[in-house]
Chains A and B, each alone.
Chain A
Amino acid sequence: MDILFKVLIDPFLQMGAMPDLFVQTIWDGFVTGVLYALIALGFVLIFKASGVFNFAQGIMVVFAGLTLVGLYEMGLPAPLALLVTLGVMFVLALAIERVVLRPLVNQPDIILFMATFGITYFLIGLGELIFGGNPKQMITDQLFLPRGAIEVKMLGGFVQFQKIDIAAAVIAVVMIVALAVFFQKTRIGRALRAVADSHKAALSVGISLNQIWVIVWFTAGIVALVTGIMWGARSDVSFGLQVIALKALPVLILGGFTSVPGAIVGGLIIGIGEKLGEFYWGPLVGGGIESWLAYCIALGFLLFRPQGLFGDKIIERI
């Protein structure tokens, strides 16, 4: 009975007893979720347009952040460093298209997946070789990102909103809106959607797949850079972030590999879910459950909806 009480009732009592902490937990989960969603977003873009399960998205986040800070440390002014980093991400997209995707076109999914492992290794080595392996401080001030926190007194306590977290949420929203506009309104965006629906059909109306791939990978690179800046500002830019980037995977299975809204909603569910879980239920089993809770939440969802939250129901045909 005692166990049942601790699992089923006590956490909710705690939530009620300290509502400010509850709000804080939700907010922290929300921000973490936004960042997971951003990583997942870059992934979804690539999966939609080129069918590649891009394992390298996580390392692209680190690589982009590292390049930015590294260039700044080498003496470039921040705006210039940002520009050059964008250039680097573009070159990266170009190189990936030319060296990896083009020769591997029409290969089975798992081979392309494997190739992105190759990219991951390559980028780890390259990033550390050029910029060194030590964690770096994100140049938040130079990028005009706010620091400090807003404390709101409420519910008999206080809730703290880090300005950088608010900025992260705002930037994420802006970016998602921008991407949506880009997809809906521009010629390239329409072409992208066409490619996502059917490669062959897109080819037949004269859309260049190679161009599309470069654009998509570059877009994913920009998303990675933004994610890298935001996460870097929260902790540090280091290769340790790579493991956190794996959290984008449960987000993806929750939201579906091809759904942008799915990535966002999935990110929020995972982010908030794991924070609540760790905070209220973690202590019951000794803590640290955050490392696997996200995957189990996703697994639970999958058992009921194997196609993800936003995927279409699969009708098997033969």
Chain B
Amino acid sequence: MTRESIQKGEVLLAVDQVSLSFGGVKAITDVSFDIRKGEIRAIIGPNGAGKTSMLNVINGFYHPQQGKITFKGQTRSKMRPSVAAAQGIARTFQNVALFKGMSTLDNIMSGRTLKMHSNFFWQCLRHGPAMDEEIRHREFVEDIIDFLEIQAIRKVPVGKLPYGLQKRVELGRALAMEPDLLLLDEPMAGMNLEEKEDMSRFIIDVNTQYGTTIALIEHDMGVVMDLSDRVVVLEYGRKLADGTPDEVKADQNVIDAYLGVAH
């Protein structure tokens, strides 16, 4: 249960025969795979394959009709997203889901919410423990800001930032949660080459520097194959293949269904 109990390379999260449907529409059918501690795991597949639904299931936003999720040795079928977050799952979103009315700094600070405990009384006064805590976390957040090289936009409302920077802030916000498992939903969508390279660098750095386990959805095959340790391929809500990038590339099913079709 504790952070140390799962060693690098052991299974951090296991998805076991999960099925999810909306009304009559099946989004995910009987999918199983696992994510090991310390790896970068990619989930790929054509549009509508159920990738984002899979992430939503993992962090508790959707409740699968069947199947189990085991995270850090704890098995559950249903849970509230906030509980998943408290257990150490953070994520970014396909369409940036930042808090548009808040500054970059506040957005990333809000990632620290779970780690802040000063009581209501001191919050009202904004002195003593509340202020100490605020400063402590500010220091942590400033480290992230340095790491992501977004010092200049610290106090800009994120609604006014260009898309690429917003994605970066969103990553920062997720990092601020110090997650064990970081879910990235198309972190490079809509970016130009240079931005993609920056983002790739950040992802690798997060993985190596902080040892954070990462699961990501991405359409850019070049990026996926370069970054990830293992890849799971979904199609029409079913698992098509699972393995190292090289294995997946060689898989005939995948070639037929997905890579063969120009993307």
Contact = CB atoms under 8 A, between A and B. Distances in A.
Is the A/B pair a real complex?
yes
Interface of A: 313, 315-316, 318
B22 A318 contact: no
Contacts of A315: 22
A215 B23 CA distance: 38
Contacts of A318: 52, 56, 61, 93-95, 97
Contacts of B22: 315
Nearest to B95: A318
Which among A313, A315, A318 has the highest number of chain B CB atoms within 10 Å?
Answer: A318
A227 to B, nearest CB: 38
Main secondary structure on A side of the interface with B: loop
Nearest to A315: B22
Interface in B52-88: 52, 56, 61
Contacts of B94: 318
Interface residues of B, number: 9
Contacts of A316: 61
A139 B23 CA distance: 54
A65 B61 CA distance: 51
Contacts of A313: 23
Nearest to B185: A318
Given A318-B61, A318-B93, A318-B94, 7 more contacts: A313-B23, A315-B22, A316-B61, A318-B52, A318-B56, A318-B95, A318-B97
A313 B24 CA distance: 13
A193 to B, nearest CB: 25
Interface string B20-63: 00110000000000000000000000000000100010000100
Nearest to A316: B61
A315 B23 CA distance: 10
Nearest to A313: B23
Interface string B87-100: 00000011101000
A318 B59 CA distance: 12
A296 to B, nearest CB: 28
A315 B20 CA distance: 13
A316 B63 CA distance: 12
B115 to A, nearest CB: 24
B62 to A, nearest CB: 9
A303 to B, nearest CB: 19
Contacts of B52: 318
B117 to A, nearest CB: 28
Nearest to B93: A318
Contacts of B97: 318
A313 B23 CA distance: 10
B56 to A, nearest CB: 7
A313 B94 CA distance: 23
10 contacts: A313-B23, A315-B22, A316-B61, A318-B52, A318-B56, A318-B61, A318-B93, A318-B94, A318-B95, A318-B97
A69 to B, nearest CB: 48
Nearest to B52: A318
A144 B22 CA distance: 55
B76 to A, nearest CB: 20
Interface in B129-159: none
Contacts of B95: 318
Contacts of B23: 313
A318 B97 CA distance: 8
A198 B91 CA distance: 32
